Amino acid sequence: MIPAGFEYSRATSAGEALSLLAQYGDDAKLLAGGHSLLPLMKLRLAQPERLIDIGAVSDLSYVRDESDHLAIGALTIHHDVEHSAVVAEHVPLLSHVAGRVGDPQVRNRGTIGGSIAHGDPASDLPAVVLATGATMVVQGPNGTRQIAAAEFFSSFLDTAVAADELLTEIRFPKLTGQGWAFEKFNRRAQDWAIVGCAVQGGANGAVALVNMDSTPILAGAATAALRSGASAADVGSVAADDTSPSADLHASADYRRHLARVLVERAAARTI
């Protein structure tokens, strides 16, 4: 498929990107690595009249140790997240999952911010920010605000980032030494997960699910069971509670619920 026609602008700073967003409004979309937006454009599921390319905004690509948390710029590519020693030490779940996004070409071009801001329920990284209790930092005409991961994903392919705002940073609490696990089931390597889960241990541990609803979601019952010290089997048994998975050519809704229970039990067994 070929995308519909569009106009193109290139921003060299966050401020310039925000100015362009203000100028073009709802007709514009931000382009970072392009691995989330361009497939939608080829399928005509997104038809922006203007693309604002922020790939050259180099000051939004970084990993910083900020004492009690890690700050990761939204334009940091997956490869750099995967290979960051400080990420591997303090948020190993993120390091591991970044290394399983797509293929080497995707990991060397796609960005953490693009994956999260896209809000695809079948994507892996949104589940990581939910499980780890990360915070998203967005910048707009009225200044900067912080959004907790649990409040970030609002509806299908939509987030709490307003049309005139830009996701600039993701902040992860340090989870050094705490258990974690990630599981996903897909038909072939590099496919989107039919179902997946991210499990983060610790006092504020959580279970997040991939492709089990119209948005990336926390598994509320499984998270409560995990925090109460329940067995892996008990955590897994409630993993699909209050979820609304879709049915498609790859799996029925019931099969997805079954997969969620199996995968969460496996992940919890390695976390507890």
Query: In the chain, where are the structural domains located?
Result: 7-53, 60-173, 180-271
Burial class (CB in 10 A: 0-12, 13-18, 19+), 140: middle
pLDDT one-digit tens code per residue, 160-198:
999 899 999 999 999 999 999 999 998 877 778 999 999
Classify 7-53 by CATH class: alpha beta
Q: What is the mean pLDDT of residues 15-28?
A: 89
Q: Is the domain defined by 60-173 classed in CATH 3.30.465.10?
A: yes
- Per-residue DSSP letters for 115-138? HHHHT-TT-SHHHHHHHHT-EEEE
- Predicted confidence at residue 122, as pLDDT, reads 93
Nearest to 189 by CA among 99, 251, 77: 99
- Predicted confidence at residue 228, as pLDDT, reads 97
pLDDT one-digit tens code per residue, 213-228:
999 999 999 999 999 9
pLDDT one-digit tens code per residue, 47-102:
889 989 998 898 999 999 999 999 999 999 999 999 999 999 999 999 999 999 98
Give me the CATH code for the 180-271 domain, please.
3.30.390.50
Read off the pTM. 0.94
**Distance of alpha carbon 205 from the chain centroid:** 17
